[in-house]
Each structure stands twice: as structure tokens, then as C-alpha cells.
Amino acid sequence: MTRKEFDQAIDAIHQGHISRQPSRAEAVEEAQCASRVLAAMCLVMRELRDIPEEQTWEPTSAQIVAFINPGPGADVSIADTIALAQLPRVHFIKESSRDLARVSRLIFEIDRAGHACYFTTMQMLLATLELGGSGATMPPPAAEIARHIIDAFVAKDHERAAALQLQFAQFPSKWMHRGLAPVMKAAMNLIGVPVGDPYPPYGSLSADEIDALAAVLRASVLASRFSTTAAA
């Protein structure tokens, strides 16, 4: 196995492959690579302003995850998002707008209509579930909080689900000026999972910010993680 093939295989370990290329030809090349290394899906950032034709993805058997990220990516209209979800290769839509009016419309016209699974963000998780969406995507340790929200929702304990959702009111938004990855890395380090420092150009949270983050996390479902860390 060559170094390039090894790197491609590592990219596929989590059963996905990410394409962030602004060129359609390069995105297709990435999708073909995803198929060769047996990735289950290919993540396509919607930075292109035109909707790719279905034949664009014919060379890959991987399922497509369309990541709609307004701001850094394209501000895709509701009509274009629905059209994107109707492409046979597109099985998942990830929406990061946090716009409830947009999200509710697209859950109705995409997920509930059976075109694709529609995912949002941690801040929108409970609202997404209540409206019939598939859920939300997020990094750890936020995913552990989300697991508790989902369990409460499935158990029809709506009061608990709402209380748990409020744990995302401050975390991570209070420290988002540092960036999502630095906040999550700091949180992981605090609960005893050493993941190191952020990679440049991102910087670490200050000592005061880490103390404030720890206080918020100790009041969350992650509190038991601190007890385990202290015992170790």
C-alpha cells in the first residue's frame, strides 16, 4: 500500500469521506476515491452555487451527504435544497443555518417527504426531533449531551428533554469566538479525554475561559466525567 492509499484508507475509517473542493471535477474525483476505499458516504460541502446534475455522481456508489453551511459556504435557497435532496445519490442533508422557519419547512419537504434524512445542529436538536427530522450532527463531547436528549425524547419525557436541551444554551456558544474545535477540545480535556491543543490558526481558551467552561460542564450531564477524572 502506498502512502497515498494509506492516507485515503485512514480518511475512510469513520465510514465517510469528505470533499471540500470548490471544483466540481475535484469533488467527483474525491467521490470516486470514496468508492475505491469503500467509504459508506461522501460529504459534499455546498460551496457551489449551482445544483450538480445526477450524472456528476454516477462514478461513485457512495451515498452523498450535502452539507449546507451558510456563510463560509453557499446560501442555498429552500427550493434548491429540496431539489438537491431529490437527487438519487443524496441520502442526507446537514443544515447549519439554525433558522427555525427554514428548518421546519425543509424537514417537512425533505425528511417527512422521504427524499433524504435531514440533520441540523446541537442547538436545534430537540426542535428537529419534534418536527420529525432525523436529528443533528456534532462533535464530542456535545454528542454525549445529545444522546441524553434523544433518550428523553424517545421515552416521551418531554420536560426532561427540554431541560437537557438547555445545556446547549451556553455550551458551546459562550466561547464560540474561539471557534468550535477549540471549545470542544477544551471540553474533552476537562472530562479526562486528552486530545491536545487546537491546531493553528486556532488558539486555546484562556485559563479563565477554561474555568468558566468547566463550571458549565459540571452542571451538565457530563458532571460524572469529572468525578471519574478526579478518581483517576
The Cα–Cα gap between 196 and 167 comes to 24
Q: Are 65 and 96 in contact (CB under 8 A)?
A: no
Tell me if 43 is assigned to some domain: no
Looking at the 3D structure of the chain, how many domains does it have? 1
What is the 3-class SS of 104-128, one letter each residue? Answer: HHHHHHHHCCCCCEEEECHHHHHHH
pLDDT of residue 13: 39
Tell me if 174 is assigned to some domain: yes
pLDDT of residue 88: 86
Which whole number is the average pLDDT over 194-220?
Answer: 95
Residues 6 or more apart whose CB falls under 8 angstroms from that of 106 comprise 78, 81, 82, 93, 95, 118
Confidence tier at 186 by pLDDT (50, 70, 90): very high
Tell me if 230 is assigned to some domain: yes
* Cα dihedral across residues 154, 225, 181, 167: positive or negative: positive
Tell me if 149 is assigned to some domain: no
Residues of the domain holding 188: 170-232
Higher pLDDT, 122 or 68: 122
Question: Could you read off the pLDDT of 5-51 as tens digits, one per residue?
Answer: 545 544 543 344 444 445 556 666 666 665 655 555 555 554 444 44
Which whole number is the average pLDDT over 180-195?
Answer: 96
Residues 6 or more apart whose CB falls under 8 angstroms from that of 7 comprise none
Tell me if 223 is assigned to some domain: yes
pLDDT of residue 10: 45
Tell me if 125 is assigned to some domain: no
**φ/ψ of residue 116, rounded to 5:** -160, 165
Cell 468508492 locates to 35
Tell me if 176 is assigned to some domain: yes
pLDDT of residue 67: 87
Higher pLDDT, 98 or 60: 98
Question: Could you read off the pLDDT of 55-80 as tens digits, one per residue?
Answer: 555 555 678 888 888 766 567 899 99
Which whole number is the average pLDDT over 132-141?
Answer: 96
- Of 126, 136, 84, 74, residue with least CA distance to 109: 84
* Mean pLDDT value across the chain: 82
Question: Could you read off the pLDDT of 137-164 as tens digits, one per residue?
Answer: 999 999 999 999 999 999 999 999 999 9
Tell me if 217 is assigned to some domain: yes
